[in-house]
A and B are shown apart, each in its own frame.
Chain A
Amino acid sequence: MPELFPATPRTWIDDRLTLGDAGAADLNREILRLYFQPLCGYTQASSLRELGEVDEIVSGFLSNRLARGDYLRSWRENEAMPLRRWLMNGLHLYGHELRRARNNRSTRETSLDASGAAATASAPDVAGVVAMERAWTLTVVREACAEIESELRFAGVEIDWYVFRRHFIDGRPYRELFAETGIEPARAAVRSHAILVKLRSRIRAILARDGTPADEIEHELARMQRTVEESRP
Chain B
Amino acid sequence: MSISMSTSNTTLPPNDDELSAASKILALAAGPALRPVDFLVAESRVTRDPAWIAHAFREVAALDLAPAPSVSGSGSGSGSGSGDPLAWHLHAPPLAEIQAWRARAKFAFEAAEDVHARNTALLVYGWCVAIALTQHQIMPTSQPREDVEQLLAELATVLPEPQATVVRNAMLVEAAVR
Of all chain A residues, which has the CB nearest B45?
A189
Bound CA span A55–B115, Å: 44
Chain A residues with CB below 8 A from B115, complex form: 190-191, 193-194
Chain B residues with CB below 8 A from A40, complex form: 10-11
- Assess whether B4 is interfacial by the CB under 8 Å rule: yes
- Assess whether B175 is interfacial by the CB under 8 Å rule: no
A84 to chain B: closest CB distance in Å? 16
A192 to chain B: closest CB distance in Å? 8
| Residues in A22-64 with C-beta less than 8 Å from chain B | 33, 36-37, 40-41, 44, 54-55
Chain B residues with CB below 8 A from A165, complex form: 1, 3, 21
Check if B34 sits within 8 Å of A193, measured CB to CB: yes
Contact of A189 among B14, B18, B43 (CB under 8 A): B43
Check if B26 sits within 8 Å of A33, measured CB to CB: no
Contact of B30 among A142, A191, A222 (CB under 8 A): A222
| Residues in A155-213 with C-beta less than 8 Å from chain B | 165-166, 168-170, 174-175, 185-194, 196-197, 199-200, 203-204
A119 to chain B: closest CB distance in Å? 27
Check if B45 sits within 8 Å of A221, measured CB to CB: no
Bound CA span A204–B29, Å: 8
Mark each residue of chain B from 1 to 28: 1 if its CB lies under 8 Å from any CB of chain A, else 0. 1011111001100101011111111111
Of all chain B residues, which has the CB nearest A45?
B11
Of all chain B residues, which has the CB nearest A192?
B42
- Assess whether B114 is interfacial by the CB under 8 Å rule: yes
Chain A residues with CB below 8 A from B27, complex form: 225
Bound CA span A191–B19, Å: 25
Mark each residue of chain B from 27 to 44: 1 if its CB lies under 8 Å from any CB of chain A, else 0. 111110110001100110
A47 to chain B: closest CB distance in Å? 16
Check if A190 sits within 8 Å of B34, measured CB to CB: no
- Assess whether A80 is interfacial by the CB under 8 Å rule: no
Check if B1 sits within 8 Å of A169, measured CB to CB: yes
- Assess whether A215 is interfacial by the CB under 8 Å rule: no
Bound CA span A112–B33, Å: 56
Bound CA span A186–B161, Å: 20
Check if B46 sits within 8 Å of A175, measured CB to CB: yes
- Assess whether A68 is interfacial by the CB under 8 Å rule: no
Given contacts A44-B11, A165-B1, A186-B43, contact A225 B28 (CB under 8 A): no
Check if A193 sits within 8 Å of B39, measured CB to CB: yes
Q: Which residues of B contact A (CB under 8 A)?
A: 1, 3-7, 10-11, 14, 16, 18-31, 33-34, 38-39, 42-43, 45-47, 114-116, 119
Q: A193-B34, A194-B115 are in contact. List 18 more A-B contacts (CB 8 A).
A: A37-B7, A40-B11, A55-B10, A138-B14, A138-B19, A165-B3, A169-B25, A193-B115, A197-B34, A199-B28, A204-B29, A221-B30, A222-B30, A224-B26, A225-B26, A228-B22, A229-B23, A233-B16
Selected A-B contacts with CB under 8 Å, 7 pairs: A138-B19, A185-B47, A186-B46, A188-B46, A229-B19, A231-B14, A232-B20
